Amino acid sequence: MTIKSDALAFFNACEMGKGWAACSQYCAPDASFSAQADALSGVQTLAAYTDWMTGIVAVMPDARYEMLAFAVDEERGAIAAAAIFHATHTEEGGPVPPTGKSISTDYCYFIKFTDGKIGHMTKIWNDGHALRAAGWA
C-alpha cells in the first residue's frame, strides 16, 4: 500500500460514516485530530472524529462527498485533500429534529503519515456556515 491509496481509502470510509472500526486500519492507534471549528471543539483524536462522522451520516443518510483535489507529498509523508460534503438532515438524532435542509460545505483535510500510518489529521472547515445551512444554528 502507498500513502495515497491508504489516504483515499481512509477518506472514503470516514466520509461515508464507517467509523473508527473501518478507519483504524489506516491510522496509528493514538492518531490525533485538530480543527478550528466550534462544532468539533473537544474532538482531539482521529478515532473520536471518525465516530463523530458516523453520527453525522446517521442523521443525514444521503451524505456524499465530491473530491475537488487530492495531492500527495511523498517527501513529507503528507496528503492534502479538498472536497465538498453534501447531505440533507432527514433523520432523528441530530441537535434538532430533522429540518429537511441540505448542506453543501467545503472542507480540506491535511493528513500526516508517521511510520506508514496516519498519525494526525487537521480539518479546515467553516462549521458555522454548514450548521446554519442545516438549520442547526
Q: Is 135 exposed, middle or buried (0-12, 13-18, 19+ CB in 10 A)?
A: middle
Neighbours of 21 (CB within 10 A): 12
Domains of the chain (ranges; CATH) run 3-134 (3.10.450.50)
Three-state DSSP at 80 gives: strand
Cell numbers at residue 76, please? 513529507
Distance CA 53, CA 7 (A): 16
Looking at residue 93, its pLDDT comes to 87
Per residue in 55-97, pLDDT tens? 999 999 999 999 999 999 999 999 999 999 999 999 998 889 9
CB–CB of 109/70 below 8 Å? no
C-alpha cell at 45: 483524536
